[in-house]
Each structure stands twice: as C-alpha cells, then as structure tokens.
A and B are shown apart, each in its own frame.
Chain A
C-alpha cells in the first residue's frame, strides 16, 4: 500500500533556530514529491515540488531534499520565524497525473 510517513509528529523550536522535518514514502511508481505548509484552519500552500531527478530545491528559508533511492525527503527551515508555526505536509504523487498521497504532517511551533 502506498504510504507517506512523516516525523516528528510535532516540534517546538526557538525563533531563529533551524529545524529539519523528515518524510519517508513507499509510493510507487514515483512521480514527484512536494512539501506544503498548512496554517491552522487554512488550505495547504505549496512550498516545493521535486521530481525523481532533483536532489534539492529551495524556496527562501525552506530547503527540501530528496533521495529517490532510499525514498526519503527532508524539509529544512533556516532561521525560523514565528510565522513558520504551521503544519508541514509531505505529499507524494504516484504517477504522472495520479492522485496525491498525503502524509499526516509535522506540527511546528516556533516560540519567541
């Protein structure tokens, strides 16, 4: 069964610090992986999209990595800000136009 597992479930960090979120997947065949940011009570907003051939992609202070061989991805947040407090969701697409498989998300809380 296609699965997307994220860790940790939740994370508390001090403002200004860095953190890394993990995503492991068993979705096959693999088309692309994306990271979304979801603020409480809002819809997900795309941060990065990576295909099989891409190892890293950045969007401002967010940097995603992908190892398609080990089926692992990470999202690194640099110099966290209070506005980074949100749920970060890893989403994997199984084939070119197939439906998305969502992870459960990592809840990040940035404290002053």
Chain B
C-alpha cells in the first residue's frame, strides 16, 4: 500500500542552524501539508501546498519557514534559523484530488539544542 515517507526520522541541530525536512508524498497526490506536534501538545497545522504554491498557512508559519517541491517527488520544509521552540515532531501529509482523506507520514523528530 502506498505511503508517505519522511526523512530523516530524527534530526538534531544547533540553535540558529538551517534544517530541511524531507517528505515523499504518495505518488498521485496533488495536495501537500506540513504539521507539527510539540511534545505533549496537540497537532498544529503549518501549511498547505498545491500547484507549486502555498494555498494556506497558519500564524506559526512565519518568515523562518519555507516549503518547496524541488522535483516531482519530494516536498520539503525548511527552517532557516532554528529556535529552541522549533523542537517538535513534524508531520507531512498528502491527499489526492477529489478526496478529503489526508495520509500522514511517520514524522521527523526535530531537536534544537
């Protein structure tokens, strides 16, 4: 069964460094999402992406964040200058046209020290 994959599974970085989190959505899906979950807290929406542009973003998704679909398969989330409070699980999700069902990846645990 097709699934969303994410790499790396765990990323440790120093405060102020740039990180790129990678996602490979399900191959025929056209809508892509990033969510984050700070330890012990609820899942929070970050951004949705369709047709090579951001369709919606939350207040969390400030100028430090950016998303890109550099090729036909990858979908990336970049944090330019990480802060301690960026430490969280980051989930990628995708869905196909005409379906409301989002499929989540296993997540990347980001630890900022």
Contact between chains at A43 and B100 (CB < 8 Å)? no
Identify A43's interface contact among B45, B56, B106, CB under 8 A.
Answer: B106
Q: How far is it, in angstroms, between the C-alpha of A44 and the C-alpha of B102 when the chains are bound?
A: 10
Q: Decide: A42 and B42 in contact? CB cutoff 8 A.
A: no
Contact check, B42 vs A104: say whether CB atoms are below 8 A apart. yes
B91 interface residue, CB < 8 Å from A? yes
Contact A45 B56 (CB under 8 A): no
Q: A43-B91, A43-B107, A99-B48 are in contact. Are A104 and B101 (CB under 8 A)?
A: no
Complex CA–CA separation, A84 to B106 (angstroms): 18
Number of residues of chain B lying within 8 A (CB) of chain A: 21
Q: Which of A43, A49, A89 contacts B101 (CB 8 A)?
A: A49
- The reply to whether the CB of B44 lies closer than 8 angstroms to some CB of chain A is yes
| Residues from 22 to 81 in A contacting B, C-beta threshold 8 Å | 32, 41-46, 49
A32 to B101, CA, bound (A): 11
- Give A97's nearest chain B residue, CB to CB: B100
Tell whether, in the assembled complex, residue A43 and residue B104 are in contact, meaning their CB atoms are under 8 Å apart. Answer: yes
Given A43-B105, A49-B101, check contact A104 B58 (CB 8 Å): no
Q: Looking across the interface, which residue of chain B has its beta carbon closest to that of A31?
A: B100
**Taking the complex as formed, is B30 at the interface, i.e. its CB lies under 8 A from any CB of chain A?**
no
B54 CB-CB contact with A under 8 Å: no
Contact A41 B107, beta carbon cutoff 8 Å: yes
Known: A41-B107, A42-B107, A44-B104. A100 touches B45 (CB 8 A): yes
Q: How far is the CA of A103 from the CA of B44 in the complex (A)?
A: 10
**Using an 8 Å CB-CB cutoff, how does the interface string of A96-112 with B read, 1 for contact, 0 for none?**
00011011110000000
B51 within 8 A of A: no
Provide 26 A-B residue pairs closer than 8 Å at the C-beta atoms, listed in order of the A residue: A32-B100, A41-B107, A41-B109, A43-B104, A43-B105, A43-B106, A43-B107, A44-B43, A44-B104, A45-B104, A46-B101, A46-B102, A46-B103, A49-B100, A89-B42, A89-B43, A99-B45, A99-B56, A99-B58, A100-B45, A102-B43, A102-B44, A102-B45, A103-B42, A104-B42, A105-B42
